[in-house]
A and B are shown apart, each in its own frame.
Chain A
Amino acid sequence: MVRQNEDALNNPLDQNTEESAIIEWRSNQENDLALLAVERTMSADSWSRIKVLSEVRSYGLALFTCALALAIALPTDVASSCFFLAVTVSALYGGRGPGILAVVLSALALDYFFLPPQHHLSIEPFAYPRFVAFLVAAILSVVLVEMKRRAEESRLQLHLRYQAIADAAPDAIVSIDENNRIQLVNPAATKIFGWAAADLVGQALTLLLPNFRVAERTTGAEWTGRRQDGTDFSAEVSFRELSSGGRKTFTGFVRDVTDRKRAEAALQKSESYLAQAQRLSKTGSFGLNTSTGELFWSQETFRLVGLDPAVKPSLDLLFERVHPEDRARIKDLLDRASQSGADLDFAHRFLMPDGAVKYVHVLARAISGEAGNLQYLGAVMDVTAQMTAEEALRASELNFRLIVDSIPGLVCTLDASGEVETVNRQIQDYTGRILEHLQDWQLIVHPDDFAPAMKLWARSVETGEPLDTELRLRRADGVFRWFHTRSLPLRASGGSIIRWYTLLSDIEDRKQAEESVRASEYNFRMIVDSIPGMVHTMTPAGEIELVSQRIVDFFGRTPEELKDWTPLVHPEDRAYMTSRVRHAIESGEPLNVETRVLRADGVYRWLQCRGVPLRDSEGRIVRWYNLLADVEDRKNAEEALRASERELSLIIETMPALVWCAAPDGELTYVNQRVLDYTGTTLAAMAKAGWLNFLHPDDVAPTVDAWSHALASGRQHEVQYRLRRFDGTYRWFHVLGQLGRDSEGHMTRWYGLLIDIDERKNTEEALRSTQARLSRASQIATVGELAASIAHEVNQPLSAVVANGHACLRWLLAQPPNLAKAHEAAERIVRDGKDAGEVVRRVRALFKRGAIERIPLDLNDVIVEVLHLLGGEATKKGVAVETDLEQDLPSVVGDRVQLQQLLLNLLANGLDAMDPVVDRPKRLSIRSKSHCPDSVLPDSVLVEIRDYGVGLANPDRVFEAFFTTKESGMGMGLAICRSIIEAHEGRLWASSDQVPGTTFSFTLPVKAPVQARS
Chain B
Amino acid sequence: MNSDSPIVFVVDDDYRVREALSSLVASIGLKVAVFGSAQEFLDSEKPDSPACLVLDLELPGASGLELQRELATGNGPPIIFITGHGDIPSSVRAMKAGAIEFLPKPFGEQELLQAIDAAIALDRKTRQERSELTELQKHYAVLTPRERQVLPFVVAGLANKQTAGELGTSEITIGVHRGQIMRKMAAHSLAELVRMADKLGISNRAQ
Query: A residues bordering B, Cβ < 8 Å?
Result: 788, 791-793, 795-804, 806-808, 810-811, 814, 818, 821, 824-825, 828, 831-832, 835, 872, 875-876, 878
Contacts and interface: CB of A to CB of B under 8 A. Distances in A.
Contacts of B80: none
B135 interface: no
B191 to A, nearest CB: 47
A835 B27 contact: no
Interface string B69-106: 00000000000001011010000000000000000111
Contacts of A808: 23
Given A792-B84, A821-B27, A828 B106 contact: no
A825 B23 contact: yes
A793 B84 CA distance: 8
Nearest to A804: B20
A806 B107 CA distance: 11
17 contacts: A792-B85, A792-B105, A793-B84, A797-B16, A798-B105, A799-B17, A799-B20, A799-B107, A800-B20, A801-B106, A802-B106, A802-B108, A803-B21, A807-B24, A828-B23, A872-B84, A875-B58
Contacts of B107: 799, 802-803
Given A796-B14, A807-B24, A828-B23, 6 more contacts: A798-B105, A799-B20, A804-B24, A811-B27, A875-B60, A878-B63
B167 interface: no
Contacts of A807: 20, 23-24, 26-27
A932 to B, nearest CB: 38
A828 B16 contact: yes
Contact of B20 (A791, A792, A828, A878): A828
Interface residues of B, number: 25
A821 B20 CA distance: 11
Given A795-B106, A802-B106, A835 B16 contact: yes
B28 interface: yes
Contact of B105 (A796, A825, A876): A796
A795 B105 contact: yes
B105 A799 contact: yes
Given A792-B85, A796-B84, A876-B58, A801 B20 contact: yes
Q: Tell me the dominant secondary structure on chain A's binding face.
A: helix
Interface of B: 14, 16-17, 19-21, 23-24, 26-28, 58, 60, 63, 82, 84-85, 87, 104-109, 112
Contacts of A875: 58, 60
Contacts of A800: 14, 16-17, 19-20
A132 to B, nearest CB: 117
B100 to A, nearest CB: 18
Nearest to A806: B109
A791 B84 contact: yes
Contacts of B28: 810
Contacts of A876: 58, 85
Given A802-B107, A810-B28, A875-B60, A788 B20 contact: no
B16 A821 contact: no
Contacts of A835: 16
Contacts of A802: 20, 106-109
Nearest to B82: A799
A795 B20 contact: no
Contact of B84 (A795, A804, A806): A795
Nearest to B85: A792
A821 B23 contact: yes
Given A796-B105, A821-B23, A803 B84 contact: no
A810 B24 contact: yes
B172 to A, nearest CB: 58
Nearest to B21: A803
Nearest to B56: A796
Closest 3 CB pairs of A and B: A799-B105, A799-B106, A806-B109
Nearest to A875: B58
A693 B49 CA distance: 60
Contact of A799 (B26, B58, B84): B84
A827 to B, nearest CB: 10
A212 to B, nearest CB: 107
A868 to B, nearest CB: 14
A876 B59 CA distance: 8
A788 B85 contact: yes
A803 B27 CA distance: 11
Interface centre among A791, A795, A799, A818 (most CB of B within 10 A): A799
A791 B112 CA distance: 20
B173 to A, nearest CB: 55
Interface centre among B19, B60, B106 (most CB of A within 10 A): B106
B26 A821 contact: yes
A796 B16 contact: yes
A810 B85 CA distance: 28
Contacts of B82: 799
A823 to B, nearest CB: 11
A803 B20 contact: yes
Nearest to B16: A800
A796 B27 contact: no
A1001 to B, nearest CB: 29
Given A799-B20, A876-B58, A810 B27 contact: yes
A115 B105 CA distance: 184
Interface centre among B21, B26, B27, B63 (most CB of A within 10 A): B27
